[in-house]
């Protein structure tokens, strides 16, 4: 956030101290808003939310600084505003109270002005970045929701068209079953031709569409009547040799689907051809329109995956740039870890974009790319990665949490498994287990985990994330650190509902 535009609310009930803070902030290009009392500070914040608050915890009034911070956090307009406590007390109890009521930082007096300015600048930048990410995520979620609604509507229309087409097919089968009763009034042509190509029977309301007139066909040669259609004549010769044949041909503006079958005599000899021609003009055109619509929806779905991937890459770039501008090593590492997690999701969408069915990915191929990416990022060539990957296909709802899960486990091994060592080995397995279970194993020959380790009781965000992702995919998590090193195994049921849902929609 530009210091020239940032306004900072300062609450201090000592005038001299307040005056010094105001002069210090103004000298660094900020716009200070002084307040001597808690009520004045709260009213000022309600009238115009500040970009940051400097707060003295011990006030002479009934309301102390901790209560002021709590009230600011309770208001939607100021809930996200960072609050920095400045106190002459350096007691741990005061710090705990400050962070418990929502404080972002705690600075003890006396302090170096440049240190205070650096912390203010850092929290202003973090506040700006959080606001930008929240706005971007909100836009992305609304866009995904809109596109998802469009796809659901399109799938509903496709289902309706398929259902109508299925009803048409069923009606056709019933018509063929009763053809002897309704042949004179049915919109088909049924004919029988002897082995010399002479019509023995030709009936049906569609005869005129074939260029034939009822009552003037029997006794004539099919090779003379259809001499202008050599493909049809070739089909008739093929059937006369004993082959069943189905073809589609166009005569004039009408498309016919014709089924030829041998006319078998009482002794098994081929005496001619039986043919049934059905006008499928509308059905063929409807099928062409349906196929074009499916292709259009596939293009749209690919575009959504591509845009989601691009948006995630923008988030990676933002996190990387912000991390480079942070001097605190721990904070910079957090930004890098967040960027790695988003990169794992980017890879999923890249695989989806190139996937044939657009609903699932070859997870073994995805793991190859993810492992290569992590090895490049950690740049530890002496640490070997052994891969044992079977072919496994996962849908989007399962692939993303699995990718994040493996990203956390491999990253944790790189960072913590080999302290004081340059070399080591990490094993990654992806296998199909018994009863349709998929098994993922990440193991190393490092120092292992404590005997009483539990991810649920740990303070690490990474382990909490691992536990949450395992629950998300309905899996189980187990550890084995007997005999040195660490072996972490995740098992979950194979999930194909994303694929079936997509195919059912088509």
Query: Top-level CATH class of 182-279?
Result: alpha beta
pTM: 0.41
d(CA 79, CA 46): 11
**Rounded-to-integer distance, Cα 318 and Cα 398, Å:** 26
Domain 359-506 has CATH 3.50.30.50: no
Residues of the chain with pLDDT under 70: 1-4, 176-186, 191, 204-211, 213-216, 239-245, 247-254, 256-257, 288-289, 291-325, 327, 329-358, 455-459, 482-483, 495-506
Q: What secondary structure, in 3-state letters, does 204-232 show?
A: CCCHHHHCCCCCCCCCCEHHHHCCCCHHH
- State residue 2's pLDDT score: 47
Positive or negative CA dihedral for 498, 503, 504, 506? positive
Nearest in space to 408 (alpha carbons), one of 476, 475, 350, 455:
455
- The Cα–Cα gap between 32 and 52 comes to 10
pLDDT of 459 reads 64
* Beta bridge partners of residue 385, listed in sequence order: 426
Read off the pLDDT of residues 254-268 as tens digits, 9 standing for 90 and up: 676 677 777 777 777
pLDDT of residue 499: 43
Q: Which pLDDT score is estimated for 71?
A: 92
Q: Are 153 and 296 in contact (CB under 8 A)?
A: no
Distance CA 181, CA 137 (A): 66
Which fold is adopted by the domain 7-111?
A: Rossmann fold (3.40.50)
CA distances in angstroms from 172 to 32, 114, 165, 281, listed in the order given: 82, 86, 11, 14
Q: In the chain, what are the domain boundaries?
A: 7-111, 182-279, 359-506
Are the C-beta atoms of 290 and 161 separated by less than 8 Å?
yes
């Amino acid at each position: 956030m530009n210091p020239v535009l940032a306004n900072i609310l300062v609450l201090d009930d000592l005038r001299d101290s307040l005056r010094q803070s105001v002069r210090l902030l103004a000298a660094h290009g900020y716009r200070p808003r002084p307040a001597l009392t808690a009520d004045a500070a709260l009213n000022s914040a309600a009238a115009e939310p500040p970009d940051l608050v400097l707060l003295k915890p011990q006030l002479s009034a009934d309301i102390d600084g901790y209560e002021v911070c709590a009230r600011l956090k309770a208001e939607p307009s100021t809930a996200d505003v960072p609050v920095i406590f400045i106190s002459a007390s350096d007691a741990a109890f005061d710090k705990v109270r400050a962070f418990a009521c929502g404080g972002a930082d705690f600075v003890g007096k006396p302090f170096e002005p440049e240190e205070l300015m650096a912390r203010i600048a850092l929290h202003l930048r973090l506040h700006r970045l959080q606001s930008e990410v929240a706005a971007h995520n909100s836009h992305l979620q609304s866009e995904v929701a809109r596109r998802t609604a469009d796809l659901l509507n399109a799938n509903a229309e496709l289902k309706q068209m398929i259902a109508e087409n299925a009803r048409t097919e069923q009606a056709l089968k019933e018509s063929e079953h009763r053809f002897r009763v309704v042949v004179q009034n049915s919109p088909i042509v049924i004919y029988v031709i002897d082995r010399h190509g002479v019509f023995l029977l030709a009936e049906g309301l569609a005869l005129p569409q074939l260029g034939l007139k009822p009552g003037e066909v029997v006794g004539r040669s099919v090779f003379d009547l259809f001499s202008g259609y050599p493909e049809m004549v070739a089909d008739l010769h093929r059937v006369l040799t004993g082959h069943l044949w189905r073809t589609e041909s166009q005569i004039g503006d009408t498309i016919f689907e014709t089924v030829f079958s041998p006319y078998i005599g009482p002794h098994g000899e081929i005496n001619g051809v039986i043919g049934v021609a059905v006008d499928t003009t509308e059905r063929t055109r409807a099928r062409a329109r349906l196929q074009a619509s499916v292709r259009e929806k596939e293009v749209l779905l690919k575009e959504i995956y591509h845009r989601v991937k691009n948006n995630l890459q923008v988030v990676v770039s933002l996190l990387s740039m912000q991390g480079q501008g942070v001097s605190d090593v721990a904070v910079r590492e957090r930004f890098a870890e967040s960027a790695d997690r988003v990169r794992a999701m980017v890879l999923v969408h890249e695989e989806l974009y190139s996937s044939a069915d657009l609903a699932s990915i070859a997870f073994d191929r995805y793991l190859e790319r993810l492992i290569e990416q992590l090895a490049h990022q950690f740049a530890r060539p002496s640490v070997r990665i052994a891969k044992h990957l079977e072919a496994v296909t996962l849908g989007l709802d399962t692939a993303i949490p699995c990718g994040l899960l493996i990203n956390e486990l491999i990253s944790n091994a790189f960072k913590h498994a080999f302290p004081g060592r340059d070399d080591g080995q990490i094993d990654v397995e992806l296998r199909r287990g018994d009863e349709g279970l998929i098994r993922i194993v990440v193991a190393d020959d490092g120092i292992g985990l404590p005997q009483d380790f539990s991810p649920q009781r740990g303070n690490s965000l990474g382990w909490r994330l691992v536990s949450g992702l395992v629950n998300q995919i309905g899996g189980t998590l187990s550890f084995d650190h007997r005999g040195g090193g660490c072996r972490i195994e995740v098992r979950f049921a194979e999930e194909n509902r994303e694929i079936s849902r997509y195919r059912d929609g088509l």
